Amino acid sequence: MSAPKSYFFRSFLIVLLSAVFFLGVKRVLPKRIFSEKAGATKNVLIDSMLIDAFEAEKDSAQAGIGDTLGNQPITYYATNGIKFPEEQYEDYKGDQYLISFYEKLYQLETAQNGNVRIAYFGDSMTDGDMIVQDLRNNFQHKYGGKGVGFVAITSESAASRSSVIHEFSSNWKMQSYLNVKNPARPFGINGHVFFANDTNHIAWVKYKSGKYTTQLDNPTLFYGSSENKKGEISYVVGKDTLRKKLVTDNLLNTLNLSQNGLKSVKIDFKSARSIPVYGFNFDDGKGVHIDNFSQRGNSGIPISNFDVSLMKAFQKKLNYDLIVLHYGTNVLNYGTKNYNWYEKSMTRTVNRLRECFPGVSILIISTADKATKYDTEMKTDSAVVPLSNAQKHYALKTASGFVNLYTLMGGDGSMVKWVEEEPAMANKDYTHFNFRGAKKVAAMLYSQLNAGYEQFKQLRKSTEGKAESDEHPIDSIAPDNANPDDEE
């Protein structure tokens, strides 16, 4: 019997010593090993401006405008004689505010020349050109156009993007509007600025045609101003090695690599220290082009840091007709159902975009459905509807078009169905779409835009007929956003 007693004594002593050791070490351990605050990891980023906006107004209890507009019809004043029918707040789309975009589509469709360009800003939902590549393909199939548009110098999602094959050296210095408030030089249209500041090794970037494309049309470099006049690039076309100087005299400069399309191109940057580089554009100048400016962790708020002068320079070169803001994925996890703080911040963002791109239509896309486990069942996260309502609020407040993606998906419980039904259209995180689901989302977005455009054409046709028989010109009708209180 002595052996069991000895074993019991040793076991008791080990447990006692372990408890003493834990109590001693506990005094120097952090209270939580994993922080409860939103933070950044290598692959998941949360922009600093989102955190600042939430912390500044997290105790606010102000109601959104939907509380007062929910039962009121939304009526419009005519724009160039065209007025869409009134809408119920619940079904708000705001096609009235997309008239300038629809008019450009109409001119493209009827005259069959020129082009229409869309800037699509998003978060991880459009990572790897998801959704956007299919939306681009839908538009180009109907209206023409070739090319993937604007592509950054480096990208965290390059490996997962199939619409263009994108490689780059590891020695680029990049600053992003997600986590840098005062960049060395202003951020480009994609929210980044890149520098080839490694004097010991050449910084390079390589692009190759991918899905939906057979070549890189009209490859053009976009870069900024600098006192450095020695910078140059070199690249190979066929059997020839070409070298071109980087002329840095203007706020925004462009350099065309070839008038003809290239299957692929690798560009070396030499003596380019301190020259801000933004990216390359690939398009044939015809039809419709959609640039994907996605970034993981983005809430949309950092866009309010855009430099107005530089953006106007980008607009002069690229000539956007529609700006899409597709955000929400990174805004749902803040333990609140009051998104007044986000509505305020995004209102400032849209107002800044209107400064940067005067007269350009803006379209807000709401958060998609997202499922969270409640007890043992996956259900629509309780923050989805409040956030989508806040997004509708600032869309209406800023005279922007609106797509309720949550409703288009099927509303309550739709993400669970998209994940669990066969074939699955979303990932097991119950947040992000797979390629099949992204294609369906793109089709739904295109369908709503196309429906608005078809209605626009009917209204335009009836307006033309009225103008021919009316003594008064079309422009005599009250402009969009006119204040009825100003009328005598």
**Segment 39-57, tens digit of pLDDT:** 333 344 456 666 666 566 6
Cα 247 to Cα 226: distance, rounded to the nearest angstrom: 9
- More confident call, 97 vs 465: 97
Cα 196 to Cα 83: distance, rounded to the nearest angstrom: 51
Average pLDDT over residues 168-179: 95
pLDDT-derived band at 465, boundaries 50, 70, 90: low
pLDDT-derived band at 179, boundaries 50, 70, 90: confident
Does residue 118 carry a pLDDT above 50? yes
- More confident call, 73 vs 437: 437
Integer CA distances (angstroms), 299 to 177, 311, 393, in order:
11, 20, 16
- More confident call, 302 vs 64: 302
Q: Report the pLDDT value the prediction gives residue 249, as an integer from 0 to 100.
A: 96
Does residue 107 carry a pLDDT above 80? yes
Does residue 70 carry a pLDDT above 50? yes
Q: Report the pLDDT value the prediction gives residue 479, as an integer from 0 to 100.
A: 37
- More confident call, 11 vs 314: 314
Q: Report the pLDDT value the prediction gives residue 330, as an integer from 0 to 100.
A: 86
Does residue 25 carry a pLDDT above 80? no
Q: Report the pLDDT value the prediction gives residue 36, as an integer from 0 to 100.
A: 34
Average pLDDT over residues 463-484: 46
pLDDT-derived band at 59, boundaries 50, 70, 90: low
- More confident call, 14 vs 245: 245
Average pLDDT over residues 21-41: 41
- More confident call, 1 vs 206: 206
